Amino acid sequence: MPAAANLIYFCQLNGLIENARTKKANAQELQSARFSRILLIKPSALGDVVHTLPVLVKLRARYPAARIDWLITPENAEIVRFHPALSNAVLFARSDFLKRGRRWRAALALLDLLKKIRRAKYDLVIDLHGQARSAFFALVSGAPVRIGFDRPAKCRRTVSGEHDHGNTSSHGWRGAREGSWMAYTHRIPIPTLDVHAIDRYLWIVPLLGLDDGPPDLTIHLSPEAARNVQRLLEERGVPAFKPLVVLVPGTIWETKQWTIEGFAGVARQFLHDGFAVVLTGTERDEPRCQQIAGAAPGAYDLSGRTTSADLATLIGRAEVCVTNDSGSMHLAASLGTPMVSVFGPTNPGRIGPYQRPESVVRVDLPCSPCNYRRLSQCPFDHACMQQVTSATVLERAREILAATK
The CATH number of the domain where 254 resides is what? Answer: 3.40.50.2000
Please answer whether residues 127 and 184 qualify as being in contact, where contact means their C-beta atoms are separated by less than 8 angstroms: yes
pLDDT digits (tens, 9 = 90+) for 213-272: 999 999 999 999 999 999 999 999 998 889 999 999 999 999 999 999 999 999 999 999
User: 260 and 166: one domain?
Assistant: no
Examine the domain organization and report whether 155 and 249 are in the same domain. Answer: no
User: Residue 3: which H helix or E strand, with range?
Assistant: helix 2-13
Q: Contact at 8 Å (CB) between 75 and 304?
A: no
Question: Which 3 state secondary structure label does DSSP give 98?
Answer: helix
Report whether pLDDT(103) > 80.
Answer: no
Q: What is the pLDDT of residues 345-392, one digit of tens each?
A: 999 999 999 999 999 999 999 998 887 899 999 999 999 999 999 999
What's the whole-number average pLDDT of the chain? 89
Domain boundary among 208, 237, 258: 208
Domain contains 213: no
Among candidate residues 177, 208, 239, the one where a domain is terminated: 208
Average pLDDT in the 331-350 region?
A: 95
Give the separation between CA 334 and CA 145, rounded to whole angstroms: 30
Residue 163 pLDDT > 50: no
Residues 182 and 236 reside in one and the same domain: no
What does the alpha-carbon distance between residue 250 and residue 303 come to, in Å, rounded to a whole number?
10
pTM of full prediction above 0.85: yes
Tell me the CA distances in angstroms from 32 to 27, 64, 100, 126, 207, one per residue in order: 9, 14, 48, 17, 10
Residues 26 and 171 in one domain: yes
Q: Does residue 239 sit in the same domain as residue 175?
A: no
The verdict on residue 69 lying in a domain is: yes
Establish if 270 belongs to a structural domain.
yes
Domain boundary among the residues 175, 208, 241 is at 208
- Residue among 284, 250, 257, 281 at smallest CA distance from 345: 257
Return the DSSP state at 319.
Answer: S
- Residue 217 in any domain: the answer is no
Query: Over the stretch 276-292, which tens digit does the pLDDT of each residue have?
Result: 999 999 999 999 999 99
Q: Are residues 19 and 115 located together in one domain of the fold?
A: yes
Q: Within a domain: residue 215?
A: no
Q: Are strands 145-149 and 124-127 parallel, antiparallel or unpaired?
A: parallel
- Distance CA(121)–CA(330), nearest Å, equals 33
Is-contact 106 96, C-beta < 8 A?
Answer: yes
| Same domain flag for 183 and 279 | no
| Exposure on the CB side of residue 58, measured as CA atoms within 13 A | 24
Residues 41 and 185 in one domain: yes
Bridging pattern class, strands 166-167 and 158-159: antiparallel
User: Is residue 117 in some structural domain?
Assistant: yes
Domain that holds residue 331: 223-404
Helix/strand number for the chain, H first, E second: 17, 14
- Residues 173 and 97 both lie in one domain: yes
Q: Which residues pair with 72 in a beta bridge?
A: 91
Q: Is the same domain home to 153 and 230?
A: no
Overall number of domains in the chain: 2
CA-to-CA separations, 291 to 96, 259, 261, 270, in angstroms, rounded = 29, 11, 9, 17
Same-domain status, 257 and 231: yes
Angle subtended at Cα 172 by Cα 170 and Cα 176, rounded to the nearest 5 degrees: 95
State how far the alpha carbon of 223 is from the alpha carbons of 67, 82, 393, in Å.
24, 10, 33
The answer on 375 and 288 residing in a single domain is yes
Cis upstream peptide for 85 (omega within 30°): no
344 vs 179: CA distance, rounded Å: 30
- Please report, rounded to a whole number, the percentage of residues in the chain having pLDDT higher than 70: 87
Specify if 100 maps to a domain.
Answer: yes
Flag whether 250 is in a domain.
Answer: yes
